[in-house]
Chains A and B, each alone.
Chain A
Amino acid sequence: MELNNEVIINNLVKRFDEIVAVNEVSLEVPAGSIFGLLGPNGAGKSTTLRLLCTLLRPDSGTASVAGHDILEEPVNVRECTGVLPEEGSHTLYPSLTSYENLEYFAKLYDVPEEEAKKRIEDLLKFMDLWERRNDPAGELSTGNRQRLALCRALLHNPSVLLLDEPTSSLDPIAAKRVRELILKLAKQYGQTFFINSHNLAEVQRLCDYIAIIDEGKILLSGRTDELRRRLQSKQVFKLRVADNIETAKSIAEGLDFIFDVSIESDSLMLTILDPVSNNSVLIRKLLNANIAIIELAEEEMTLEDLYLQVIKEEEQ
């Protein structure tokens, strides 16, 4: 089945003087999915998001959001996207009340008055901000402001949501609620989410698709479950031996399917390629050398390991 892509990016390039912030980025985000763009600070995540919401013009390449070209139809793109900018909690009008902030944007997004009233009430209640509706946004806590900024992004019921670090500055309970909201919106209303995040655990929990970006380049992209499978082919094991740990280390280093051998307290940490076939070879070699094995256990690998591994490979 061919998936309908809501966000399509083709060789997008954005330079700031000498710095190439986004370097020939190509991505596809299927409709109704949650996509996570991971990367360290300055990797090009926010610039990519700003290009998609037409705040910046690319130097070359193309992109479309909800079927609209970002260069040819920027107004249409803005109509069907909801944006939570970086540090969203600082992007509200501090002197306007929570309600007035949303009311102002509802007018700019052409939401009919009655519908706007209902949506504002629903969103403020959902985010536990209804009691604070008459408080100036500048008097709210950072977490409440972040939630209010998220309400603003959802106000006009956009088909694509572009969220830059949506749960940063939220307490764990509020962050959990936001994640639940994202999952609910994606499942029930088919809204597509493009999320920039540093929070790997969050991305792992939320996203159907992931891409890792560094120095403006996409290093890796794909379905989250596929990337997880990729992790299975190369896993980290913890080997505990009764004695002769140095001998065990030199044996492990001599095997071509083992990488990154290191000693951590009384154990050896080994990255083993295709462990299902190769672990028995390792065990045999150790036993032949009269090394008593206490434990050979698989270390649980997360996307964080993959992320660090990809960044490390790129640096090398």
Chain B
Amino acid sequence: MPPDFSAVRDQFPALHQTVHGKPLVYLDNAATTHKPRAVIDALVRYYERDNSNVHRGLHALSMRSTDSYEAARARAAAFINAADPAEIIFTRGTTEGINLVAQSWGPTHLKAGDVILATEMEHHSNLVPWQRLAARTGATLRLVPVAGADAEHGLDLAALDRLLTPQVKLFAFTHISNTLGTINPAADLCARARAVGALTVVDAAQSSGHEPLDVQVLGCDFLSFSGHKMAGPTGIGVLYGRRALLDALDPWQTGGGMVANVTYADATWKPSPERFEAGTPNIADAVALHAAMDFLDGLGRPALAAHDHALAATARAALAEIPGLRVLGPKAGSPRAGLVSFALQDAHAHDVVTFADQDGIALRGGHHCNQPLMRKLGLPSTVRASFYVYNTEADITALVTSLRRIQKFFAG
């Protein structure tokens, strides 16, 4: 039995509305989740009571803001079991964290002949920065293939071992595929990379709000995630980096707050994390992210993962009954996340999403920022339903009813 979170729904104000006259069924959580009252309150409380700049002022409000901001950093360290809060850099989100590594680490550590390794299932945000870095440094970008007709077998680990040569300096991969729902064996992948001396960058955008995360168990060098996909606000995210690596890196943006000493001619840098946070940071959203992490740990992240996985498994089974519907992603028995991606034979994803919207159901349709993978799967686009703590089996029933009607409309 999946854990009972039925009371949690009441804590999310945005869920209690109608769309086109129907109760909202929100199944676009892999794009962004809704925010509980505790997170919204933390944001409002910060602006109503503490609002001030950090690390500069000596007055009471500035000290409160600084304390709240640094408490959020310590909370983020605890959330992923980082050894030291200085290993937590606040960013705008997953994308910015990956770009920070590419721009800060890349040019000083890569040369022609080196290899950057990524995978065929990466979101554009964990692919395009590496394409650009390769072009800039003369390094080569190689990709670990996904295996199986529907990519159901996940990453091709035999190919990975062939690709992991001593020329590989960095291996960037997603923890959970936003398109397929595949959960990659992240700790194993990091260990294989470490064996050839490659650093690892883990895209945790789809895992941070759903699965327990422990960077020391994963053994990764960098890990990036977004607040808004884990019940937190938009505009805030976390880049974790191992302390020894961060202190040896150049800054990627410069300005106030990150400098130790400045003359008219030159400047020196503070250590991490300040070195990577030039300018006034996103204090309010960091404080609200703190509340989101408390909220998720209050629910219990193993229970949350079990809940989302169970709903996705129920959805997969129910969708498979619909004529002409192809479910993508790993088959039963393989590690799968709380989302399901599918295609209807007679209806394009956009038509499906428009129809479902009229039934109050929020889905995602398109290439999911994963164009090369969609080409490989031979599909222009898919429909995705992704689940979170407030979703219920009744939401799946509504989805299936709507999809059957859509299938009939376009096939008829």
Q: Does B bind A?
A: no
